[in-house]
Amino acid sequence: MKELNTIGHSIYEIEDFIKLLQNNNINTIVDVRSTPYSKFASQYNREALKEYLKQNAICYIYMGDTLGARYEDKDLLFDNGKVNFKKVQETKNFQDGILRLERGIEKGYNISLMCSEKEAFDCHRFGLISEFLSKISIHVNHIYSDKIVSQKELEKKLLKKYDKFLPSADLFNPDVTEELQLALAYQMRNEDIAYNAITNEGDD
């Protein structure tokens, strides 16, 4: 089974972050932040982080240019200016990034995607990247300081959060499947957290 992890650096002390990676046998960090710098935790600025990781024999790869979530192209936005994850997933740029991850997994690297949000559920690493990886049979786990949560577990949370907005199978809607409900719930999460190219707010 192909596997991959994700983590949010939040404001962890760098020593605690490194230990968390080591405890989960991570030897490669793939930075998926569109802007690889932190206003609140300078230890996670690209150059500093790369050096900290190198000192601990962990490889750093920047891929925010292919797997980030900040876009200005109107063809990739909803009418309200928010980034449309489905359209992003269809781009060659995004798919090239996914292919690079697959090749890394095949070569035996223990990879964790990294973004700034501590909670994967609030981040594009869940709703954009991991959603796509799951569809191509890559098992995704999300690393927290005290637990590991699978993509499947977060999908249950997703369905529960948007339950009252989702159609249900009944006499008048016999074709409603859990797959359809999940797709609709992902879209709702997308619209809730996505970067807005007009207001410059949201996950990037």
pLDDT of residue 1: 86
Give the residue extent of every domain in the chain. Answer: 2-193
pLDDT in tens, 140-152: 999 999 999 999 9
Question: What value, to the nearest 5°, has the Cα angle with vertex 67 and ends 185 and 129?
Answer: 30
2-193, CATH topology level = Protein-Tyrosine Phosphatase; Chain A (3.90.190)
Q: What is the rounded average pLDDT of the residues 167-173?
A: 72
Check the CA dihedral 48-49-54-59 and report its sign: negative
At residue 172, does pLDDT exceed 90?
no
Q: Are 91 and 76 in contact (CB under 8 A)?
A: yes
**pLDDT-derived band at 120, boundaries 50, 70, 90:** very high
pLDDT of residue 170: 67
- Separation of alpha carbons 187 and 177, rounded Å: 16
Q: What is the rounded average pLDDT of the residues 23-47?
A: 96
| Lowest mean pLDDT across 138-152, 160-174, 188-202 | 160-174
**pLDDT-derived band at 171, boundaries 50, 70, 90:** low
